[in-house]
Amino acid sequence: MNDISIRVTGRAGRITLDRPQALNALTYDMCLAIEDALDRWANDTSVDLIVVDAAGERAFCSGGDIAELYATGKAGDYDYGRKFWADEYRLNAKIFSYSKPVVSFMQGFTMGGGVGLGCHGSHRVVSETSQIAMPECGIGLIPDVGGSLMLALAPGRIGEYLGVTATRMSAQDAIFAGFADCYIPQHLWPDLIAKLEDTGDAAILTPATLAPPASELQEHQAHIDALFDGETLGDILNNLRKDDGEFARETLKKMERMSPLAMASTIEVIHRLRGPSLTIEKALDLEYRFTYRAMEHGDFLEGIRAAIIDKDRKPAWQFADMNVPLAATGKMLRPLGNAALTLENTR
């Protein structure tokens, strides 16, 4: 496959995304190829760890390739998208619980589906160029690919803020929020990858890891916690509108570009996940309830039209006044019964 290189080099199973012209956006076939490789290497005693990286300087992975999702959805075929998401989520869960170290090197943009690929491994490396985000609300989805798990685990109310604003995290912000582990200058990466291939030992990352610069997100946490302490989207909007500071105004401006239904559902999902019973399986199940319905009942197709197809940046969202009834989020997140997500490989 031209879009991805999968091989064994030394002691490492190697996965390199190779679509730099498309910011290494993840296609359905790439997802399946990665899963097949992980399955092969799980019991291969010659492979000690997995190293995931990407070609080009601009992006590790900018997200999922959504052109086919849009085309099939507009034609009234919702099953393709449902299968795509189910198979992608199975891969996310597999990376999260993989029996061997998974080391990801995330330069430039890591967004959406890229987070699902790069941020569930055991060793998540970022650099001075890294920008990590969950921008799904901007196209009518909720943060998925297991991203809701990390948002629920983020400090304070940082998860709600990141989920509904699509704010891009620097390397230091991503480490603070729980999306990354190791800050290593990018010029050191080629030698480190060669050593990982040679030794099969992820511990060699430790001496190269530096203390990251101060996190701007951390500096704003107290303010974010106060603004986002509401139970619903409406509560949070009321807090933001009462605050006449620049940060609140900028936050509102970001949220005004997002799907209100997706934002309200994002907040509900994060709140449901918090607590001692949080698992990747629970997060993916809730995400799939929404994405399963996103084309037929949500704002997904309109979000893609406005952002990618017509590029007019003027989506006609449902609940454009941002008054989202609780019944609307309840409809998007109710159990799917026999259609519920299964993480067993049925291919």
- pLDDT, tens digit, 9 for 90 and up, residues 17-40: 999 999 999 999 999 999 999 999
CA 107 centroid distance within chain: 15
Please tell me what DSSP assigns to residue 163: H
Would you state the pLDDT for residue 122? Answer: 98
250-260 pLDDT, tens digit per residue, is 999 999 999 99
Average pLDDT over residues 121-125: 98
Q: Cα Rg for the chain, rounded, in angstroms?
A: 20
Give the ranges where the chain is alpha helix by DSSP (H): 28-42, 67-74, 79-96, 113-118, 147-153, 158-165, 171-177, 189-199, 216-219, 221-227, 233-242, 246-255, 260-273, 280-297, 300-304, 326-333
pLDDT at 14: 98
Whether pLDDT at 265 is above 70: yes
Confidence band for 277, pLDDT divided at 50, 70 and 90: confident
Read off the pLDDT of residues 182-195 as tens digits, 9 standing for 90 and up. 999 999 999 999 99
Q: pTM for the full model?
A: 0.96
At 224, which amino acid appears? Answer: I
pLDDT of 300 > 80? The answer is yes
SS3 56: coil
Look up residue 164 and give its two tokens: 């509904």
Q: Can you give the pLDDT at residue 321?
A: 96
Confidence check: pLDDT of 288 > 70 = yes
- The sign of the torsion formed by the CA atoms of 118, 124, 125, 129 equals positive
Q: Is the pLDDT of residue 212 over 70?
A: yes
Residues belonging to the active site:
64, 113, 136, 144
pLDDT above 90 for 180:
yes
- Whole-number average pLDDT of the chain: 96
pLDDT of residue 347: 65
Q: Note the pLDDT of residue 227.
A: 98
